[in-house]
Structure 1
Amino acid sequence: MTRNALHLVVLPGDGIGPEITAATVAVLETASDRFGLGLRLEHELAGHASLARHGTTLRPELLDKVLAADGLVLGPMATADYADGSRGGINPSMFFRKKLDLFANIRPARTYPGVRHPAVEPFDLVVVRENTEGFYADRNMEAGNAEMLVTPDVCISLRRITRSCCARIARAAFRLAAARRGKVHAVHKANVLRLGDGMFLEECRKVAADFPGVTLDEYIVDAMTAHLVRAPGKFDVIVTTNMFGDILSDLTAELSGSIGLGGSINAGERHAMAQAAHGSAPDIAGQDRANPFSLILSAAQLLEWQAERLGSPAFAEASRAIEGAVAEAVAAGEATPDVGGRLGTAATGQALVARLRAAR
């Protein structure tokens, strides 16, 4: 691979996935031409389309293809439909997060001029969520499942917290904050979960010592929800464990005006996956109504991650150009109706491509 070359596997997904993925691919191809990235996009199937053709939502050989690539763009998946693994129902999102050790789910949220939002003030923050353990029963065990039905009326769910996972997610948050406004906010429930969340806070404090230019403060999770509603503009980088991060990142996305504006990347040491923050929305699939910006912004994050991995400014420049073009498009009404625009999915993607081509 040359320094300015990137091989991405693209999986369109279910529901609205193919529509928003098509718009995202057009934007990536335009960015590649505009900034000389040399992108090579390899299109594959996962989800219902794969189940219909191959009898499984995710073929085993697909993992080898993704491992050999530089990154993955994953469209929304109908994960609730994939409950029976014995019938080929593998959750691709969970599968790749676990197999690629994508421990950091990074979800920016910001307000955009021209978009109505319920927040009391403009804000620009990032939720950094631990992605591999916690209460998530489908990924915190080497074998088996961490949720057990002891009797028909008794269920036990196990939560796994490890020092190594706490330390690496804390370090990811501090590195990000050092490049932003220099503030990390650790969210926890250590007043009740004294051992697990106590360990998480200990590791955050240890990492903080390596970043003297970044401040650390701590919030109990229920108090944090109130603070986000009351004064979201005071926050920079929020770091937390898996389930709390899942909930808070949806809250901050909605505060920005629409979860359709929420980009999301799942990153590890050697691999990364762009993934829209929302689901497959089967109720509007095929109607040219879906907002493609979440997956487009996720793809921009993937380019930024690649810029850091390769030390290549071209990828960072392309990422910033995509994010800027999205902001300009939203302000101009070149977007879907959910964010105040007047266009359909395909036309929104085409308008963004035009803006990206004209970017200076």
Structure 2
Amino acid sequence: MSGSGKYRLGVLYGDGIGPEIVAAAWRALRAAERAGGVELFDPVELPMGLGAIREHGSALPQRTKDELGNCHGWLMGPHDSASYPAEHRAATNPSGELRKRFDLYANIRPSRTLQGVRGVAKDADLVIFRENTEEFYPDRNLVAGSGEWQVTPDVVVTAGVFTRRAAERIAHAAFRAAERRRGLVSIVHKANVIKLGSGLFLRTCLEVAEQYPHVRVNDYHVDAAAARLVRSAGEFDVIVTTNLFGDILSDLAGELTGSLGLSPSINAGDDIAMAQAAHGSAPDIAGQDKANPVGMLLSAAMLADWLGAKHGDSRLTGIGRRLDGAVAAALAAGVATADLGGAATTGQFAQAVIARLEAAHGG
């Protein structure tokens, strides 16, 4: 904790709908604190995105990076890199740069069926642990530069990097989560075709599984996993997979449970974590109070829970649990933004969540 006895929490509003949904998440997080009779977070607002380019000449100024290193975690809004000036578009986007700088190797993305939300999957409650540092993402798989080469105008080679270290640590994170959940890990891979790289990932995960004898384990080729998600999402508990497959499957799972706008995530390392909704910046509705804040609200709840587990502080875990429950209760009561068929604005949905937290506190 900081010298004040609080947890330093970075607040990065970002681009597009970012300022609206991050502000909503921060207000709700404060209400969840009050509902538990505590005030644990010491917020640090930091520049990021197009506004930071205009004011500081960088989408992620050095001051922001330095300050985040002194935080326990942060809320990060989406970025709209496509709108940046050309010289900034060529650089690694802010989210990618922070994942690499702080070695946030685990992208954790839950999806569950929520009462009041119409989705294809009726009984889903799963979480995807996506390895976040390598494989076929060229901005993450080399020490410097990008892992793609244009051999001729008509031929491009893209490198995929697989290491035992990366597979081991994401596997351990997944199996530890399964111990706290329903005790099942599904390894998703393509070892039948990418025999060396994906094969190393599969073998390493199976070796890690031996250290968790009380957790059941199975494995799927990624195409079979996608099909089974559509048909029987309720069969999955924890999925562990590589970077590209995790990106695709988590978006699929989010849509199956109602909307990508509902999908939370955290990017976590060993000592620090970033809460960031899985969706983009939606510049077409920015500033109109139309954005669905659920993904960001639930990401904030996940961050509080992660920090509670990391620091052995049940007060933080309680904050996360209360916020998650209040979001679910608002949706179950029929409060929803337009993308879910409702009429609530961003602010109105956030206020509905806050009202439930205040009611639970008696305030």
Same fold (TM over 0.5): yes
Distance 1:318 1:77 in 2: 27
The equivalent of 1:20 in structure 2 is 21
| Candidates 57, 60, 71, aligned match of 2:59 | 57
The alpha carbon displacement at 1:339 in A equals: 2.3
Distance 1:88 1:252, change over 3 A: closer
- Give yes or no for contact 1:58–1:90 (8 Å, CA) kept in 2: no
The alpha carbon displacement at 1:126 in A equals: 0.4
Letter in 1 for 2:316: F
Higher deviation after alignment, 74-83 or 328-337: 74-83
The equivalent of 2:288 in structure 1 is 287
The alpha carbon displacement at 1:114 in A equals: 1.2
The equivalent of 1:160 in structure 2 is 161
Query: Structure 1, residues 128-147: CA drift from partner, whole Å, max 9, x if none?
Result: 10000010101111011101
- Give yes or no for contact 1:333–1:340 (8 Å, CA) kept in 2: no
Detail structure 1 runs of 4+ shifted over 4 Å in the superposition: 82-90
Say yes or no: does 1:93 pair with 2:95. yes
Unaligned runs of 5+ in 2: none
Distance 1:49 1:88 in 2: 17
The residue correspondences of 1:155-234 to structure 2 (distance < 5 A) are 155-234=156-235
- Local SS of the residue matching 2:239: strand
- Local SS of the residue matching 2:253: helix
Letter in 1 for 2:202: L
- Local SS of the residue matching 1:277: coil
User: Percent of counterpart pairs with the same letter?
Assistant: 50
Distance 2:89 2:119 in 1: 42
- Local SS of the residue matching 1:113: coil
The alpha carbon displacement at 1:87 in A equals: 7.4
Distance 2:354 2:106 in 1: 29
Higher deviation after alignment, 331-340 or 19-28: 331-340
Distance 2:140 2:268 in 1: 16
The alpha carbon displacement at 1:88 in A equals: 8.2
- Give yes or no for contact 2:92–2:139 (8 Å, CA) kept in 1: no
The residue correspondences of 1:103-122 to structure 2 (distance < 5 A) are 103-119=105-121, 121-122=122-123
The alpha carbon displacement at 1:80 in A equals: 3.3
Distance 2:293 2:92 in 1: 25
TM-score, normalised with respect to structure 1: 0.96
Distance 1:156 1:43, change over 3 A: same
- Local SS of the residue matching 1:9: strand
The equivalent of 1:355 in structure 2 is 356
Letter in 1 for 2:40: G
The alpha carbon displacement at 1:309 in A equals: 1.1
The equivalent of 2:45 in structure 1 is 43
Higher deviation after alignment, 158-167 or 341-350: 341-350
- Give yes or no for contact 2:148–2:157 (8 Å, CA) kept in 1: yes
Distance 1:90 1:204 in 2: 30
- Local SS of the residue matching 1:156: strand
Distance 1:196 1:84, change over 3 A: farther
Higher deviation after alignment, 105-114 or 86-95: 86-95
Distance 1:174 1:250 in 2: 22
Letter in 2 for 1:291: N
Query: Structure 1, residues 202-223: CA drift from partner, whole Å, max 9, x if none?
Result: 1111111111110110000001
The equivalent of 1:260 in structure 2 is 261
- Give yes or no for contact 1:170–1:207 (8 Å, CA) kept in 2: yes
